[in-house]
Amino acid sequence: MTLRPASAHPRHLRPAGRSTSRLQSLVLVAGSIALFAAGCSSTATDASSADSASTDGMPTSSWSYTGDNGPQAWGQLSPEFAACSEGTRQSPIDIKDPTPTKRKPPVFDYSDGTSEVENNGHSIQAFSGPGNSMSVDGVTYSLERMHFHSPSETEIDGARYPIEAHFVHQARSGAIAVFAVLFTEGKNSSGWQSFINQMDLPDESSDITKIAWSQMLPNKFESVRFDGSLTTPGCTEGLGWLVATDPVEISSDQINKFRSAYGDNSRPVQPLNGREVTVDAP
């Protein structure tokens, strides 16, 4: 399957436009896509701390998505952020013509439940209770949390999309896998509404609500996979990404609600530098 801009596929994503409107995408702490199958751990940050995007001695408020402390300056803000400017396998990327590979898509076992939802000053995120999981190439990853970016960090043939959500998982080995979902404008999504209702949370605050985890995923789970990094400081490398090829549809009102909380919390795409990008072709 080859991803194309939204106009080429009725159910594919509608671009958010070329103008840029936190938390970033976190994904596999397996050093390469091949490590999915082996279930190996790596030195990358674990799920409990990686997407908090704070480093020792440096508060999250010291970096931003705009101004003097924006993405272009992250690598100079702290020694712990050096990979943001010096790394060669950084995320996000612009996906173009991924290579089909004979591998099965991930398998999900999600159920709805009461969750803590937090505004950490860079995004709104929901924490999963025990029992939700994703299996990739025979390895089971427990769902830890989910957060969003607006507009999408991932680009498809140069097009960005209204919203991107990242479902962060961790295996017993310590390996982290994040399933990234892109959003297109369409009909209202009841599955996403309980999370969207939390967009009014003040900075550095949290609430408890029921999250419809089982209703938040796309209809199909085929994914684009590549090696990458965290997309917030310190931009740690040695990670892998799963980006769903099937979008989730939400209404324009729901998109605007996301944007009312964080409308510009996306890192620009980074050079591929020769990395392989594949797409599931079961």
Which amino acids are annotated catalytic?
A: 122
Where does residue 1 rank: exposed (0-12), middle (13-18), buried (19+ CB within 10 A)?
A: middle
Dihedral through CA 144, CA 227, CA 156, CA 189, nearest 10? -10
- Tell me which residue of 73, 93, 95, 94 sits closest to 84, measured CA to CA: 73
Tokens representing residue 109 in the block: 């076992």
**What b-and-e string marks burial along 257-281, b requiring 16 or more CB atoms within 10 Å of the CB?**
bbbebbebbbbebbebeeeebebbe
* Contact assessment for residue 92 and residue 270, using Cβ atoms and an 8 Å cutoff: yes
Where does residue 282 rank: exposed (0-12), middle (13-18), buried (19+ CB within 10 A)?
A: exposed
Give the integer Cα–Cα distance in Å for 279 and 281. 6
Angle at 62 between CA 60 and CA 65, to 5 degrees: 85
Give the integer Cα–Cα distance in Å for 102 and 5. 24
Give the integer Cα–Cα distance in Å for 20 and 268. 9
Strand partners, 168: 145, 178
- Tell me which residue of 65, 45, 71, 64 sits closest to 56, measured CA to CA: 45
Give the integer Cα–Cα distance in Å for 269 and 247. 19
